[in-house]
């Protein structure tokens, strides 16, 4: 996941309108299960090779890989332990070799206990976007006059973190219709824009009872 995500971001400025990438990471705090899924357009897959086979990387970690003419998709499911999250202050999966970005990889996501059966989860988007490949000098690589079309082409695509429990006590992210899930979404457009044009808040936060 980490290699795929970073490579996708670094190639965005030069690939054009079909360079779409999505990653969805969902964590059920009550059941202690995790589901991760990424999809990458065929154009990105062709240019992100560098001798690495996305199918091999996906299946080596227990994932299911599917490939169509439009995109490649990897889905992985695993477990985690809440107490490990609380002890270490970050996401820790049961399978240590799962390719999940960590704080050291530029993912400043922190977790702490905030009450009885309640976790507070925060994502520093300023720190995340500062380190994201493709941010520095990204706009210079987009052909003159093409930025509006390019930004329209990547609209709605990005990286999302969803945390589900018994109830969301508070969040500045998106809340599901049943009130049990909070989602932090980082759109690809924010990777390409400067701080003054970003859609995301400086800090995503949520308190969720499990």
Residue 46 burial (10 A CB sphere; 0-12, 13-18, 19+): exposed
Residue 132 φ then ψ, to 5°: -70, 130
pLDDT for the residue 99? 47
State residue 178's pLDDT score: 98
188's enclosing H/E stretch is helix 188-192
- So what's the pLDDT on residue 138? 43
pLDDT, one tens digit per residue, over 90-99 is 777 665 444 4
pLDDT number for residue 204? 97
State the chain's mean pLDDT as an integer.
76
Q: What does pTM read for this prediction?
A: 0.76
Residues of the chain with pLDDT under 50: 1-8, 10-18, 96-99, 101-106, 133-140
Domain boundaries, the chain: 2-209
Are 121 and 173 contacting, i.e. CB atoms less than 8 angstroms apart?
A: no
């Amino acid at each position: 996941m980490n290699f795929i995500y970073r490579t996708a971001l670094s190639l965005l400025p030069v690939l054009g309108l079909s360079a779409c990438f999505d990653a969805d990471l969902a964590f059920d705090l009550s059941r202690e299960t995790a589901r991760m899924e990424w999809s990458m357009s065929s154009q990105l897959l062709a240019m992100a090779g560098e001798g690495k086979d996305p199918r091999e990387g996906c299946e080596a970690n227990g994932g299911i890989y599917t490939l169509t003419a439009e995109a490649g998709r990897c889905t992985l499911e695993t477990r985690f332990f809440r107490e490990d999250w609380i002890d270490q202050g970050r996401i820790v999966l049961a399978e240590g070799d799962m390719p999940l970005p960590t704080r050291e990889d530029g993912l400043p996501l922190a977790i702490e206990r905030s009450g009885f059966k309640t976790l507070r989860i925060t994502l520093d988007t300023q720190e995340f976007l500062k380190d994201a490949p493709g941010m520095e000098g990204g706009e210079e690589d987009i052909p003159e006059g093409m930025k509006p079309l390019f930004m329209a082409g990547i609209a709605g695509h990005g990286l999302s973190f969803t945390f589900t429990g018994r109830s969301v006590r508070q969040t500045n992210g998106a809340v599901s219709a049943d009130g049990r899930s909070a989602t932090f979404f980082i759109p690809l457009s924010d990777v390409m824009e400067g701080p003054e044009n970003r859609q995301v808040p400086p800090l995503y936060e949520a308190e969720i009872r499990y």
